[in-house]
Structure 1
Amino acid sequence: MDTPQDTSHAGPRPAALLGPVEIRQLAEELDITPTKKLGQNFVHDPNTVRRIVSAASVGADDDVIEVGPGLGSLTLALLDTVRSVTAVEIDPRLAGRLPQTVADRAPDHADRLTLILQDALTVMPADLRTAGAPEPTALVANLPYNVSVPVLLHLLAEFPSIRRVLVMVQAEVADRLAAAPGSKIYGVPSVKAAFYGDVRRAGAIGTNVFWPAPKIDSGLVRIDRFRAGGEPWPIGAESRAAVFPLVDAAFAQRRKTLRAALSGHYGSGVAAEEALRHAGIEPGLRGEKLGVADFVRLAGVV
């Protein structure tokens, strides 16, 4: 005869992750058709969300902010691992269903979730405080593809408590974010992301793990933010306001030399050349040749 197992000392039960059947059922229940406007593609593969959580290197002392939780695939995997998840969702139907999904599939972790119904491009620290959510230590998200870079840069700017980022974006965007100076795809997103920390590709994601399947592959990007007190340059609002306009101007017309591209910023080509030479930068170079440290030096931040 089998002896009943004593489960009185068992730990929290792991979340029951969502598969293709559950994703379709939830979408049908909510009468949701994923929209290109909101950049919605729902992950339906449990192994993929586990892989994202692993690549993010988050643990029991992390408070994660997730953007675009959708039907909850990644949210459930995060709740298994981290101290708390603050999910920012713009779609009222999805936001309204997420707490129930978590209660149904991760009842032992439901108290770790805070939901904010808001556009991630407008969310600020005060919104998290109002919701009773802690300061985030990490951003882990399948970002809405149509606004992935603006959302990423907004959250890095407004939440200095974020020390690590792991986001899924279009493969082309992932390549741009992680590009090195001198490459054809190196540009504004590359420099602005690198302003905050070390950026690298963290893997590739195929189309078959999504519903609906997008027409292009996706990529994981990891950013390890510079350690507080050990930053190579100040990364606050004041230095950002000095550096980012230079980056924008340098890449506005990629074929122009820096002397020409920055003439509007400095008032004349002569003034631009003087500033460039003062920073030890050859005025005949193009913006794609400069690393973020060059832009920081040109801005006089360090």
Structure 2
Amino acid sequence: MTGLLGPAEIRELAARLGVAPTKKLGQNFVHDPNTVRRIVAAAELTPADVALEVGPGLGSLTLGLLAAAGHVHVVEIDPTLAAALPATVADRSPEAAGRLTVHHADALRITGAELGQPAPTALVANLPYNVAVPVVLHLLAELPSLRTGLVMVQKEVADRLVAGPGSKTYGIPSVKLAWYANARGAGKVPPNVFWPVPNVDSGLVAFTRHEPPRADVPRKRVFAVVDAAFAQRRKTLRAALAGWAGGAARAETLLRAAGVDPGARGESLTVEQFAAIAASAPPAPDRAE
């Protein structure tokens, strides 16, 4: 894997473009080639894969992905960085330039139709800290072609994404990712591989998509139950779901119908149990579907 960007190349390129990482966009550029190699290796990409990268920045990880995947889509919200990336790839990895598609867009709003073909099969990205969870969930919802992923996020967020029921870090991100995929931690990344250096560690999260736990209930209805359960996580489900269900008594009836203890709390439930609760309630105009 040659042509990767090191610290000197990153800073020289940034100076030439007149750009600097901004907190507003959650930018922390990877400048360590060994970290890029580690991420690409952990993603286990093959030439049959179409990688999707969000927030490529100056192109550190992009160059590594192009060496492993058959095609790479990148989504970059910064117009200067989006415009500069093709030239960086053409300069450092000219044989791969034709396998890169750059989308100047917001990853929270991009659609599968906008990404076009070839359809992405693997999400591999150093995600902006401030939008990491919503980006992952949006892309999984929007792109059924995504089968695997390896994302780098703030370590605290990584812990939440992979947490299981009963854990103190188990919450809304854990359950919603579990709806789409099996997730696991894939290692820690130290701050000194980034520019600027963040004041927190980062973590890698790997996931593999599976079929939804229930095919008979809409995802949005399940997620509405999850949101309600964790909005007041110290309360029992009977109390926490009262607003969603139309009263505490109604919530208790639905919970018992789903085989869930009304005295339990959301942090103890699996995604399958949340789906069972959602399935026990008929759709209503005031519930998200």
TM-score interval, normalised by the smaller of the two chains? over 0.9
1:255 to 234, 238, 260: 234
Task: Tell me, in whole angstroms, the C-alpha distance in 2 between the residues paired with 1:287 and 1:232.
Answer: 17
1:28 equivalent in structure 2: 15
Taking the aligned partners of 1:234 and 1:44, their CA distance within structure 2 comes to 43
CA distance in 1, matches of 2:253, 2:196: 53
Structure 1 counterpart SS, 2:204: strand
Question: Aligned residues: percent identity?
Answer: 61
C-alpha distance in 1 between matches for 2:277 and 2:39: 37
**Structure 2 matches for 1:91-110, cutoff 5 A?**
91-110=78-97
Q: 1:280 aligned to 244, 259, 265, which one? A: 259
Distance 2:226 2:67 in 1: 40
Output aligned runs, 1:86-125, within 5 Å: 86-125=73-112
RMSD: 1.2
Q: Which has the larger radius of gyration?
A: 1
* Equivalent position SS for 1:195: helix
1:193 pairs with one of 148, 152, 177: 177
Q: Unaligned regions of 5+ residues in structure 2, if any? A: 281-289
Could you tell me how far 1:185 is from its partner in structure 2? Answer: 1.1
Counterpart among 209, 223, 247 of residue 268 in structure 1: 247
Distance 2:245 2:212 in 1: 27
| Equivalent residue runs for 1:140-289 within 5 Å | 140-226=124-210, 231-234=212-215, 239-289=218-268
Query: Quick one: which amino acid aligns to residue 205 of structure 1?
Result: V
Provide the rounded CA distance (Å) in 2 between the counterparts of 1:121 and 1:231.
Answer: 22
Q: Which runs of 4+ in 1 moved over 6 A?
A: none
Deviation at 1:218, TM superposition (A): 0.1
Equivalent residue of 1:216, what SS? coil
- 2:179, 2:212 within 8 Å by CA — same for their partners in 1? no
Q: 2:287 maps to which residue?
A: none
Q: Is the 8 A contact 1:15 1:79 kept in 2?
A: no
What is the alpha-carbon distance in structure 2 between the residues aligned to residue 179 and residue 231 of structure 1? 18
Partner-residue secondary structure (3-state), 2:218: helix
Deviation at 1:33, TM superposition (A): 1.5
TM-score by length of 1: 0.91
